[in-house]
């Protein structure tokens, strides 16, 4: 039915013909209604038209419809978006579908205008005559639901809809959603498990029918609200050989979807996937689940912070013989590297997902993971590689990129420090910035040669009485490193560089002019020595003890120290020197009652505040990202 609407204005929004034809709806199938006359290539078209379906305002679809929809053989649809009001009159392509593909035919372009009141007018013209039985389609856009379909839906749990279950028996057992009276929104289940429609091709004769229907487009995100998606069905040896009517879809809290199913135009059925691949991914609030090259993963949302995009926002941590690295999961996936294909040098050492990051670690205990340890004379270095290899099973060649991301923990060899130390125990423990590591060096004075009774509180020590000292390194691998005392000396003030000093150990050997005994040096991460208590005679009542040590790499080295009988020198060996440092303890001072002319041969050990400095600089290097 065509009725003119005229006005003195030349604006087509006020001068158009009403074109109300229910047969132009995609619900009307060519064979079902036996329409053999009135094709649009036989009509005389004049001016502008506004489309209606049974009195409801309609518009041309922007999505493809299968051929033989809209009551004719070739369904014509708009090959572009409708304009906005401010766009005025625009020109749009018109396509026609056949059994091979949606845009098989291209008709002459038409003019379109958006009008106040949320409708459109079209300057329709006669379609090209080479298009068989063409018809301009018209759809009534559904209004937004008055309720939230996430909480008001029908449960659809029919196992035959699974995209892995073929039709049982012959064609007489085909399921047809054309016969279903669809009403409202639906949530898909498979044997009680929440599932979703497939987003990729489903083979013929699956889902209980000849034309299995799948979603030709990604599922929406929560923030997208209700969206419209095209539905494809397998037909004529083509995954999308049959284009069914579009449906509306919404993503819901709890990682599930609801669908507003409508009746297909022929014997077809909506498929149910075996499960929702996004459920197990647990994408964070800054990520979203998407499909990329047939693989589901978490991609980065626009608000995702990218501090080091080229290095996947890496964060490194190294502490003694432990190393870890974490990278952005969504940036890795966008670059083509899902987290499940990544591993360290040892393929069994794979990453752990935590808060949207892929974390890797190694240590020198039971999680080596192919880590190599080398010494170059100035540093000792732990090295490993994060590898991402695509699955090439069943293929002779591969053209996908391979990720090789090298990282290393590099420990510098030398650095010195000094500090006031509580005489009961001296500890150096420095917290460094991210990407740097720590270890501890402790100097502990003991009362006995068994090193079982450290001093506790203030104590009185006789002059010439032996003090037993242990210098211990914690936080390094005792199987690969030994600590070696280089020098120990005493000063009357809290300054290791004070010109007045007394050497106890020099060049790793005891001072032959003093009562110093080197009990253990270079055989473990603990070095021990003893000396007889003394004081300086230059009016000083305090002494401070300082020691300088280094770490020795045990691999292929004998780090133990061998001094000659005269304690004059040590045997010189070529060893790999690692980190060195120094530490101090003190003060040791005379008791208050012994500061007169008659000095008792007693001193008292008392506490002093700690003065800490950097112990170890740990460097992290990341190699150039290499793609093959």
Q: How far apart (Å, rounded) are the C-alpha atoms in residues 579 and 513? A: 29
Residue 265: C-alpha distances to residues 32, 52, 79, 233, 606 (Å): 9, 21, 22, 11, 94
pLDDT in tens, 57-83: 999 998 877 767 787 778 888 988 999
Which distant-in-sequence residues (6+ apart) come within 8 Å of 519 by Cβ?
Answer: 449, 468, 528, 529, 530
Residue among 281, 627, 276, 606 at smallest CA distance from 424: 606
Both 97 and 198 in one domain: the answer is no
- Tell me if 90 is assigned to some domain: yes
| 276: pLDDT strictly greater than 80 | no
| 412: pLDDT strictly greater than 60 | no
Both 136 and 178 in one domain: the answer is no
What's the pLDDT at 582?
67
pLDDT in tens, 454-499: 876 554 567 778 889 888 887 777 888 888 999 999 888 888 888 9
- Tell me if 567 is assigned to some domain: no
Both 543 and 465 in one domain: the answer is yes
Both 122 and 161 in one domain: the answer is no
| 178: pLDDT strictly greater than 90 | no
What's the pLDDT at 94?
93
517 vs 395, residue with greater confidence? 517
- Tell me if 474 is assigned to some domain: yes
| 425: pLDDT strictly greater than 50 | no
| 418: pLDDT strictly greater than 60 | no
- Owner of token pair 């659809």: 156
What's the pLDDT at 242?
80
- Tell me if 189 is assigned to some domain: yes
Mean pLDDT to the nearest integer, 294-320: 79
Listed residues 117, 140, 163: the one ending a domain: 140
What are the two backbone dihedrals, phi and then psi, of residue 311, each rounded to the nearest 5 degrees? -115, 20
**Token reading at 461:** 């020590």
Q: DSSP 3-state assignment of 153?
A: coil
| 305: pLDDT strictly greater than 60 | yes
612 vs 52, residue with greater confidence? 52
Per-residue confidence at 612, pLDDT binned at 50, 70, 90?
very low
Q: What is the CATH number of the domain that holds 323?
A: 2.60.40.3210
- Tell me if 260 is assigned to some domain: yes
| 545: pLDDT strictly greater than 90 | no
What's the pLDDT at 577?
52
Q: What is the CATH number of the domain that holds 434?
A: 2.60.40.4100
What's the pLDDT at 417?
36
Both 443 and 586 in one domain: the answer is yes
- Tell me if 625 is assigned to some domain: no
Instruction: Choose the weakest-confidence range: 381-385, 423-427, 545-549.
Output: 423-427
Both 433 and 556 in one domain: the answer is yes
Query: Highest mean pLDDT: which of 404-413, 481-490, 541-550?
Result: 481-490
For 233-266, give the secondary structure using H, E and C. Answer: EEECCEEEEEEEEEEEEEEECCCEEEEECCCCCC
Instruction: Choose the weakest-confidence range: 111-120, 171-180, 255-264, 348-357.
Output: 171-180
What's the pLDDT at 397?
43
Both 134 and 174 in one domain: the answer is no
- Owner of token pair 């010109």: 499
306 vs 326, residue with greater confidence? 326
Residue 575: C-alpha distances to residues 78, 372, 557 (Å): 80, 19, 6
| 2: pLDDT strictly greater than 60 | no
| 331: pLDDT strictly greater than 70 | yes
16 vs 144, residue with greater confidence? 16
- Strands 74-78 vs 134-136: parallel, antiparallel or unpaired: parallel
Q: Residues 235, 241: contact at Cβ < 8 Å? A: yes
For residue 168, what is the DSSP state? P
Instruction: Choose the weakest-confidence range: 34-48, 214-228, 533-547, 584-598.
Output: 584-598
How many whole angstroms from its chain centre is CA 283? 9
| 439: pLDDT strictly greater than 80 | no
Per-residue confidence at 617, pLDDT binned at 50, 70, 90?
very low
- Tell me if 145 is assigned to some domain: no
| 442: pLDDT strictly greater than 90 | no
How many whole angstroms from its chain centre is CA 138? 45
Q: What percent of the chain has pLDDT over 70?
A: 74
| 544: pLDDT strictly greater than 60 | yes
What's the pLDDT at 213?
94
Q: DSSP 3-state assignment of 340?
A: helix
Both 403 and 430 in one domain: the answer is no
pTM, 2 dp: 0.46
Query: Highest mean pLDDT: which of 202-206, 326-330, 461-465?
Result: 326-330
Both 378 and 351 in one domain: the answer is yes
- Owner of token pair 């014997």: 267
Query: Highest mean pLDDT: which of 293-297, 317-321, 399-403, 495-499?
Result: 495-499
Which distant-in-sequence residues (6+ apart) come within 8 Å of 438 by Cβ?
Answer: 319, 320, 429, 430, 431, 432, 475, 615, 616, 618
Per-residue confidence at 389, pLDDT binned at 50, 70, 90?
confident
What's the pLDDT at 601?
35
pLDDT in tens, 574-589: 445 555 666 766 666 5
What's the pLDDT at 581?
65
Both 124 and 190 in one domain: the answer is no
**Token reading at 171:** 């064609």
Q: How far apart (Å, rounded) are the C-alpha atoms in residues 95 and 64? A: 8
What's the pLDDT at 603?
34
224 has which bridge partners?
Answer: none
Residue 452: give the domain boundaries. Answer: 426-560+578-590
- Tell me if 106 is assigned to some domain: yes
Both 444 and 586 in one domain: the answer is yes
Give me the chain's average pLDDT, please.
77
Both 43 and 160 in one domain: the answer is no
Per-residue confidence at 263, pLDDT binned at 50, 70, 90?
confident
Q: Residues 252, 150: contact at Cβ < 8 Å? A: yes
Number of independent structural domains in the chain: 4
Instruction: Choose the weakest-confidence range: 155-159, 322-326, 526-530.
Output: 322-326
Q: How far apart (Å, rounded) are the C-alpha atoms in residues 125 and 108? A: 8
């Amino acid at each position: 039915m065509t009725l003119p609407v005229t006005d003195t204005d030349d604006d087509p929004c006020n001068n158009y013909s009403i074109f109300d034809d229910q047969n132009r709806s995609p619900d009307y199938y060519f064979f079902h209604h036996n329409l053999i006359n009135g094709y649009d290539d036989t009509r005389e078209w004049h001016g502008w038209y506004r489309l209606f379906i049974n009195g409801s305002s309609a518009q041309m679809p922007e999505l493809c419809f299968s051929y033989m929809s809209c009551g004719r053989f070739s369904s014509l649809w708009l090959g572009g978006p409708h304009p906005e009001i401010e766009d005025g009159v625009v020109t749009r392509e018109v396509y026609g579908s056949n059994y091979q593909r949606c845009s098989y035919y291209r008709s002459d372009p038409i003019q379109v205008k958006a009008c106040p009141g949320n409708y459109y007018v079209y300057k329709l013209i006669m379609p090209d005559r080479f298009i068989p039985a063409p018809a301009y389609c018209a759809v009534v856009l559904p209004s937004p639901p008055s309720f939230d379909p996430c909480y008001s839906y029908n449960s659809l749990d029919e196992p035959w809809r699974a995209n892995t279950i073929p039709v049982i028996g012959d064609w007489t057992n085909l399921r047809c959603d054309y016969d279903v009276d669809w009403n409202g929104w639906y949530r898909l289940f498979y044997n009680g498990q929440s599932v979703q429609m497939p987003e990729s091709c489903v083979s013929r004769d699956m889902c209980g029918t000849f034309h299995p229907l799948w979603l030709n487009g990604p599922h929406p995100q929560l923030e997208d609200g209700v969206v419209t998606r095209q539905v494809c069905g397998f037909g004529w040896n083509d995954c999308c050989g049959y284009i069914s009517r579009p449906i509306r879809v919404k993503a819901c809290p709890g990682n599930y979807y609801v669908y507003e199913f409508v009746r297909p135009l022929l014997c077809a059925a909506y498929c149910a996937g075996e499960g929702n691949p996004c459920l197990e991914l647990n994408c964070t609030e800054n990520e979203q689940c998407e499909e990329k090259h047939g693989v589901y993963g978490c991609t980065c949302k626009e608000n995702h912070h990218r501090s080091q995009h080229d290095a996947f926002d890496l964060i490194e941590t190294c502490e003694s013989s432990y190393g870890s690295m974490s990278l952005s999961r969504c940036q890795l996936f966008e670059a083509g590297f899902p987290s499940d294909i990544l591993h360290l040098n040892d393929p069994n050492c794979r990453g752990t997902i935590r808060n949207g990051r892929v974390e890797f670690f190694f240590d020198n205990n039971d999680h080596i993971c192919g880590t190599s340890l080398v010494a170059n004379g100035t540093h000792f270095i732990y090295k490993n590689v994060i590898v991402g290899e695509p699955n090439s099973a069943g293929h002779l060649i591969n053209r996908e990129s391979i990720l090789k991301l090298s990282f290393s923990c590099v420990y510098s060899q030398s650095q010195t420090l000094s500090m006031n130390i509580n005489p009961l125990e001296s500890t150096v423990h420095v917290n460094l910035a991210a990407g740097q590591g720590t270890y501890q060096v402790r100097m502990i004075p003991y009362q006995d040669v068994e090193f079982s009774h450290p001093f506790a509180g203030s104590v009185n020590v006789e002059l010439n009485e032996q003090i037993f000292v242990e210098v211990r390194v914690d936080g390094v691998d005792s199987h690969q490193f030994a600590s070696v005392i280089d020098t120990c000396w005493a000063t009357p003030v809290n300054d290791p560089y004070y010109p007045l000093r007394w050497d106890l150990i020099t060049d790793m050997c005891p001072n032959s002019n003093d009562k110093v005994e080197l009990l253990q040096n270079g055989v473990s991460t603990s070095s021990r020595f003893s000396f007889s208590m003394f004081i300086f005679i230059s009016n000083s009542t305090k002494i401070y003890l300082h020691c300088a040590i280094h770490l020795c790499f045990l691999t292929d080295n004998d780090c133990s120290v061998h001094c000659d009988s005269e304690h004059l020198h040590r045997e010189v060996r070529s060893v790999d020197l690692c980190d060195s440092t120094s530490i101090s303890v003190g003060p040791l001072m005379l008791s208050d009652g012994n500061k007169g002319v008659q000095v008792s041969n007693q001193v008292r050990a008392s506490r002093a505040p700690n003065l800490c400095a950097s112990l170890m600089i740990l460097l992290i290097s990341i190699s150039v990202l290499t793609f093959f």
